[in-house]
Structure 1
Amino acid sequence: MSAARKVLHAVTLHSPSHAFGGPVRVALNLAKGLRERGHEARLLALGEGFDPWPDSVEGVPARLFPARRILPLGFSGMTSPALLASAGRLVRAADLVHVHLARDLVTLPVALAALRAGKPLVLQTHGMVDPSDKLLAKVLDAVAVRRLLRGADAVLYLTPHERAGLEAVVGGPSVRTVRLVNGTPAQEERPPLSGPPRVLYSARLQARKRPVDFVDAAPAVLASHPDAHFVVAGPDEGELAAVRARITALGLSDRFTVPGALSGAEVLAELRRAHVYVLPSVDEPFPMSVLEALAVGVPPVVTHSNGLARDIAAAGAGRAVEPGPAGVAGAVLDLLEPAANAAASKAARELAAASFSMDSVLDTLLGIYGGITR
């Protein structure tokens, strides 16, 4: 793909609180990288919570349509009649359409519009399209998802587990799958550690992310480091009340800060203050927050089912543990030892640069784009 092309990146929702999480971060990183290489990348999404309404996001031209919640199904129940009416025109104006696909009423219609228009179509599912027994998933799979997975020019996956899930949704290997890892821009190394230990969680407050496990790990850490401080940051997706209640029940209100959703710049600022980053979630495909921690040089603690766990453990860049507070606490205590922290921090930055740099990811992506013809 040597000639400059117009690439439309479509994702479900962008908001100041980054409520939709990693897929938006990936879309923006890719779009920014493409623009730096001379391509005309744009973002299409629902928007929510903006005042004033933006026409660009982090320097990427963006067409954001006000979100309407038409069904009580979280992100799957959101759409915009104006976006749906404009989808055909927007995809026809692009040379290639890259959809960050979920089972929702935004990305599915945009991808279908691209198929109808005969545009080269790349789907990237971020682990969001997997076998499901839910009625809505079965209906959407029958109506649209299988057709899209079979018809796309490339379907990007993160892990072998995700690829197997995509093939299971379709009912066989009739999907043009290509592996593309998430990348993270190079970051300035965190400054030398100072002050009391600071342990960070920065992700959506959602049951699968297990933020309460992070809270429950604190007493064991505080037994050895009574001056440690813990930060639970991120938009609420049902677990904020449980997090606050557990902090109160443990009598640790003075040891915790719960700042809510943070901007991208605020997340990086918190990472640069952190001694250890913790994401106790299970079945996490390839979390951008962990990649950002690695890039800054903050050793992460993840569970074994995290898509990055093997890389982190093999590189000595952090710790992979069994789910639950005990495993988290033990790993945090290990990484609060100065020598262990310094070694893991160095390994974390080396891992981010060697395996997850944006340059490497963009090289792969542009090769995929270049191989797509109609």
Structure 2
Amino acid sequence: MRVLHAVTLHSPTHAFGGPVRVALNLAKGLRARGHEASLLALGEGFPDPWPTEVEGVPAALYPAKRLLPLGFSGMTSPALLAAAGRLVRGADVVHVHLARDLVTLPIALAALRAGKPLVLQTHGMVDPSGKLLAKVLDAVAVRRLLRGADAVLYLTPHEREALDAVVGGAGLDNTVRLVNGVPAQEARPALSGPPRILYSARLQERKRPVDFVNAMSLVAQRVPQARYVVAGPNEGEYGAVFHQMMTMRLDGSMTIPGALSSDQVLEELRRAHVYVLPSVDEPFPMSVLEALSVGVPVVVTHSNGLARDVVAAGAGRAVEPGPEGVAEAVLELLDPGVNGAASLAARKLAAESFSMDGVLDTVLSVYAGALKRRAG
């Protein structure tokens, strides 16, 4: 089966975050099962020559053009749009990681026009919005695509409700719940040296990296030998993170390495005692799943889509937003006995609830249903 995965942007800094990681994990898993999966996306920041594959997945990457000052929504590529019809026609199934942008919407529309089996996965990126651009795109394309797709994959009941609200009326009848999966990883080795606490996500206000810095200043008062890492591409918060690090006099114990590759993230996780993601309203973060797969206990806020699973499994802590709760949770998890038990629980949770094998079984069943529907 030839499966085309379309996502908005791939870059060396992983600026677009989780949807690209999900698309690559699915494509790699499909290829391991004998299918021909490939990636289609904008590209940005690559040195010449540009890659023709990403992590072993064949990739068609087109230079991004910023048409409007609207972040990812204002980016596109005339060359990609010109090639979209041909690439869509060459696939048996088109799987679009849909956002309100000028990349994934045209690709999905091309698949719909070509009569190709179309699967949409929105990653929490399509929800009710009062913004003018969102209203226009919903009226022109989004509702048509959501109704016309063979399947719409959602992460949580909250996301399903949001999609129904965007469509209006009786809502959607073509939805399938699909959690994010994470490949199995080797367990982190026995830890040595001073405690090490990791944040690895975009430096963006919603992710609250400054809360991480403030929380670690509280941890430092009790565990002065601890070390801290704030990793991720800058999306507006680097200056605030750096300022707070200097204000709290953490520059001797905290590093800000910038964006890391996938291998570098795993390397940091294998050295970490605790992983912290203090963001709010996070639907289903891949960085938390990756931490769990390595056996790193996690600290998240209650609004994180994985909070209940983490707490129920004993794989970490969920807290109210803010530095104080984060700091107390980290201090609890630095206890060697607590950390060891939470580490085992984290790996068990990743393997039993979020394995790639289970996710791929569901995805292939969705593809089979889409192919059958189009054939009929």
Q: Confirm or deny a common fold (TM above 0.5).
A: yes
| Count of matched residue positions in the alignment of Structure 1 and Structure 2 | 370
Give 2:149's aligned residue. 152
Note if contact 1:155-1:175 (Cα within 8 Å) is conserved in structure 2: no
- Unpaired segments of 5 or more residues in structure 2? none
Give 2:94's aligned residue. 97
Query: Which whole-Å CA distance do the structure 2 matches of 1:218 and 1:174 have between them?
Result: 44
Query: Which whole-Å CA distance do the structure 1 matches of 2:276 and 2:173 have between them?
Result: 35
SS of the equivalent of 1:9 reads strand
2:346 is matched with which residue: 342, 345, 348? 348
SS of the equivalent of 1:217 reads helix
Counterpart code for 1:283: D
Query: Which whole-Å CA distance do the structure 2 matches of 1:248 and 1:223 have between them?
Result: 16
Deviations along 1:138-159, one digit per CA (max 9) or x if unpaired, are: 1111111000000000000000
Give 2:37's aligned residue. 41
Percent identity of the aligned residues?
Answer: 78
Query: Which whole-Å CA distance do the structure 2 matches of 1:174 and 1:67 have between them?
Result: 33
- Unpaired segments of 5 or more residues in structure 1? none
Query: Which whole-Å CA distance do the structure 2 matches of 1:289 and 1:340 have between them?
Result: 22
SS of the equivalent of 1:349 reads helix
The Cα of 1:343 is off from its aligned counterpart by: 0.4
Note if contact 1:191-1:272 (Cα within 8 Å) is conserved in structure 2: yes
2:254 is matched with which residue: 244, 253, 256? 256
TM-score by length of 2: 0.98
Give 2:73's aligned residue. 76
**Following superposition of structure 1 onto structure 2, how do residues 1-374 of structure 1 map, counting pairs within 5 Å?**
5-51=1-47, 52-171=49-168, 172-372=170-370, 373-374=373-374
The Cα of 1:251 is off from its aligned counterpart by: 1.4
Deviations along 1:14-34, one digit per CA (max 9) or x if unpaired, are: 001100000000000000000
Query: Which whole-Å CA distance do the structure 1 matches of 2:79 and 2:366 have between them?
Result: 31
Query: Which whole-Å CA distance do the structure 2 matches of 1:69 and 1:326 have between them?
Result: 40
The Cα of 1:55 is off from its aligned counterpart by: 0.4
The Cα of 1:300 is off from its aligned counterpart by: 0.6
SS of the equivalent of 1:219 reads helix
Query: Which whole-Å CA distance do the structure 2 matches of 1:314 and 1:357 have between them?
Result: 18
The Cα of 1:175 is off from its aligned counterpart by: 4.1
Counterpart code for 1:131: P
SS of the equivalent of 2:42 reads strand
Query: Which whole-Å CA distance do the structure 2 matches of 1:299 and 1:98 have between them?
Result: 33
Query: Which whole-Å CA distance do the structure 2 matches of 1:242 and 1:151 have between them?
Result: 44
Note if contact 1:16-1:49 (Cα within 8 Å) is conserved in structure 2: yes
Note if contact 1:149-1:175 (Cα within 8 Å) is conserved in structure 2: no
Point out 4+ residue stretches in structure 1 off by more than 3 angstroms.
none
The Cα of 1:174 is off from its aligned counterpart by: 2.7
Query: Which whole-Å CA distance do the structure 2 matches of 1:313 and 1:244 have between them?
Result: 31
Pairwise CA RMSD of aligned residues? 0.6
Query: Which whole-Å CA distance do the structure 2 matches of 1:231 and 1:240 have between them?
Result: 13
Counterpart code for 2:359: V
SS of the equivalent of 2:252 reads helix
Note if contact 1:158-1:181 (Cα within 8 Å) is conserved in structure 2: yes
Query: Which whole-Å CA distance do the structure 2 matches of 1:147 and 1:262 have between them?
Result: 37
The Cα of 1:336 is off from its aligned counterpart by: 0.3
